[in-house]
């Protein structure tokens, strides 16, 4: 009984807001009725002009009739509301009618409804200049890395300097950065043929083979580099970073063993020992060995990476961060420190910084769509909607059928649409909404998620009433959405409405008993009371 009262209070509060309104469907019907009233008024005025000779008594009586009709039409929404409740209890025909509404049209009207706040929010828009100044720009920003020189510039320079090994490698690296691996391979093979005694030539060829998954060929190339220089720093450092996949780990182990056999006390052997200590969770010893190895071999940035990894395993994130940043500073082209730093920022909730680090990874490995996804996800969690859209639109060129992105990206555009409309920029809002439908026109698959995101977004901006309304709209679409009840609870908690907050979390747990986040909030609330 107590919970029922709370739910009634909740519904009353949300239905009274001017933003979306819990009773949106009824509101639309009342709009239709007002349009009917206007039509009746127009017709009545025409009748008046054509029948001037009629008596005043007849005019009065007709006026009374019109008043009665107005009263009747104004009572209709209540009747409709009652019938909707009855249909939920078991009136099958009416229930079918509710379920038949077009979700795309609903989303469109829901978006349009925010235009009513346009006039009242002109002053508020001054406090949200971010959306005026940065929003359109962010939407148009391409996260894809652009080279300082064009392909033609590199090719012309390489043609003019055919014997310059450095310039030829720059051409190959340019091809790689832009995903043209076939052209890059031709450059590196040509340079190996022209400079067979240069270990760097073999290293670049091996790196290309490793990046394209040709690990057997990569192994042969790296072994040739180490045959010419057993302590070849670029090769050994690369092997210390190859830890992402099973194939990379095997390649790394084989090459390091090869170098260790040639130089028993060299850096390769030390990397192998450190990795073995880490595999056995002996992180303190591994850390000490990595620090000693770096003192002895200060040009090997791979040891700094290992120092950072061990700090992280020991629960020292700040020390780990400094190590990763140092490794990046010494060798910006090493991919692994960028990824390690990005993961660290993400785990710390510093999502924008995580996105920037993933952007560096995208630059170094433009064909890796996973890095692009994490880049967009980091911006998404950081509520940088324009950059999120740019990242994931770019990703769809690589993975056009990615179901996750085609569900999340429309949510981003929808939030942008509603917010643009709220601050008085309906043109940009309309375009953002069209973008959402162009990615996925099946609004029923993403609209609830979009409104949940909107609720969280407004809560972060301390716009609690708008937050509650957005979550309530989720319940209009999905009455059993446990996440919406949890979101309502958090918003109420921030409003210091603790009783309503607890009731919402309890309802969330009723729907989804394994919702640990709601359970955690309930425990927290009981400790605070």
Q: Provide DSSP, 390-447.
A: HHHHHHHHH-TT-HHHHHHHHHHHHHHHHHHHHTT-HHHHHHHHHHHHHH---GGGTH
DSSP 171-191: HHHHHHHTT-HHHHHHHHHHH
The CA distance from 422 to 117, in Å, is 6
Identify whether the C-beta of residue 374 lies closer than 8 Å to the C-beta of residue 345: no
pTM exceeding the 0.75 threshold for the entire prediction:
no
Q: How far is CA 61 from the centre of its chain?
A: 64
Identify whether the C-beta of residue 388 lies closer than 8 Å to the C-beta of residue 412: yes
Domains observed in the chain: 389-528 (1.25.40.10)
Identify whether the C-beta of residue 517 lies closer than 8 Å to the C-beta of residue 484: no
The rounded radius of gyration (Å) of the Cα atoms in the chain is: 32
What is residue 123's predicted lDDT score, i.e. its pLDDT? 36
A 10 A CB-CB count for 341 gives 25
Place of tokens 């920003």: 141
The CA distance from 23 to 81, in Å, is 9
- Buried/exposed code over 408-443 (b: 16+ C-beta within 10 A; e: otherwise): bbbbbbbbbbbbbbbbbbbebbbbbbebbbebbeeb
Of the candidates 435, 457, 454, 350, the residue with the CA atom closest to the CA atom of residue 140: 435
The residues, ordered by sequence, that sit 6+ positions from 453 with a Cβ below 8 Å of its Cβ are 411, 412, 414, 415
The residues, ordered by sequence, that sit 6+ positions from 171 with a Cβ below 8 Å of its Cβ are 154, 155, 157, 158, 187
Identify whether the C-beta of residue 460 lies closer than 8 Å to the C-beta of residue 383: yes
Element (H, E) at 95: helix 92-99
- CA dihedral sign of residues 402, 403, 408, 413: positive
496 burial (CB, 10 Å; 0-12 / 13-18 / 19+) is: exposed
What is residue 102's predicted lDDT score, i.e. its pLDDT? 60
Q: CA distances (Å), 414 to each of 13, 152, 296, 419, in order?
A: 25, 40, 56, 8
The vertex-229 CA angle with 225 and 232, nearest 5°, equals: 75
The residues, ordered by sequence, that sit 6+ positions from 494 with a Cβ below 8 Å of its Cβ are 459, 462, 464
Place of tokens 């210091």: 496
Identify whether the C-beta of residue 89 lies closer than 8 Å to the C-beta of residue 8: no
What is residue 111's predicted lDDT score, i.e. its pLDDT? 59
What is residue 529's predicted lDDT score, i.e. its pLDDT? 53
What is residue 90's predicted lDDT score, i.e. its pLDDT? 45
What is residue 94's predicted lDDT score, i.e. its pLDDT? 44
Identify whether the C-beta of residue 492 lies closer than 8 Å to the C-beta of residue 500: yes
Mean pLDDT by 10 residues, the chain (529 residues): 43 40 36 46 48 45 46 41 39 43 60 44 34 37 44 85 83 81 89 87 88 88 88 79 77 83 81 87 93 88 92 95 92 89 94 94 83 95 93 90 94 93 87 91 91 93 92 91 94 93 93 89 78
């Amino acid at each position: 009984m107590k919970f029922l009262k709370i739910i009634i209070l909740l519904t009353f509060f949300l239905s009274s807001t001017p933003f979306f309104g819990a009773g949106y469907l009824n509101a639309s019907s009342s709009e239709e009725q007002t349009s009917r009233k206007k039509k009746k008024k127009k017709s009545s005025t025409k009748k008046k002009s054509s029948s001037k000779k009629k008596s005043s008594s007849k005019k009065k009586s007709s006026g009374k009739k019109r008043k009665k009709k107005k009263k009747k039409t104004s009572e209709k929404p209540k009747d409709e509301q009652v019938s909707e409740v009855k249909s939920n209890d078991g009136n099958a025909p009416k229930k079918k009618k509710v379920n038949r509404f077009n979700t795309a049209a609903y989303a469109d009207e829901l978006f349009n409804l925010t235009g009513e706040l346009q006039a009242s929010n002109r002053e508020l828009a001054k406090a949200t200049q971010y959306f005026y100044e940065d929003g359109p720009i962010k939407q148009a920003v391409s996260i894809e890395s652009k080279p300082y020189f064009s392909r033609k510039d590199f090719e012309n320079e390489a043609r003019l300097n055919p014997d310059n090994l450095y310039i030829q490698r720059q051409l190959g690296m340019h091809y790689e950065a832009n995903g043209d691996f076939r052209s890059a391979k031709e450059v590196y093979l040509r340079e190996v043929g022209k400079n067979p005694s240069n270990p760097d030539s073999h290293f670049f060829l091996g790196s290309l083979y490793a990046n394209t998954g040709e690990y057997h060929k990569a192994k042969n190339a790296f072994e040739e580099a180490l045959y010419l220089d057993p302590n070849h720093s670029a090769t050994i450092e690369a092997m210390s970073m190859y830890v992402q996949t099973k194939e990379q780990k095997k390649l790394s182990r084989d090459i390091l063993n090869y170098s260790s056999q040639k130089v028993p006390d060299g850096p390769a052997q030390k990397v192998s020992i450190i990795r073995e200590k880490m595999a056995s969770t002996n992180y303190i010893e591994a850390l000490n060995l990595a620090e000693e190895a770096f003192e002895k071999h200060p040009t090997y940035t791979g040891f700094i990476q290992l120092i950072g990894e061990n700090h992280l395993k020991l629960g020292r994130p700040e020390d780990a961060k400094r190590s990763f940043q140092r490794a990046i500073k010494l060798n910006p082209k090493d991919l692994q420190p960028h990824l390690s730093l990005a993961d660290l920022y993400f785990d710390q909730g510093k999502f924008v910084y995580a996105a920037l680090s993933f952007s560096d990874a995208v630059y170094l490995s433009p064909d890796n769509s996973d890095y692009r996804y994490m880049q967009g996800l980091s911006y998404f969690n950081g509520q940088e909607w324009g950059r999120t859209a740019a990242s994931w639109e770019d990703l769809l060129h690589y993975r056009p059928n990615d179901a996750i992105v085609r569900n999340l990206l429309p949510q981003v555009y929808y939030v942008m649409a509603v917010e643009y409309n709220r601050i008085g920029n309906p043109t940009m809002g309309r375009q953002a909404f069209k973008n959402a439908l162009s990615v996925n026109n099946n609004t029923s698959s993403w609209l609830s998620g979009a409104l949940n995101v909107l609720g969280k977004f407004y809560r972060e901006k301390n716009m609690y009433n708008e937050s509650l309304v957005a979550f309530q709209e989720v319940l209009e679409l999905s009455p059993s959405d446990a996440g919406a009840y949890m979101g309502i609870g958090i918003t109420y908690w921030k409003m210091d409405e603790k009783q309503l907050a607890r009731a919402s979390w309890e309802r969330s747990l009723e729907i989804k008993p394994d919702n640990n986040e709601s359970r955690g909030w309930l425990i927290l609330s009981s400790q605070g009371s």
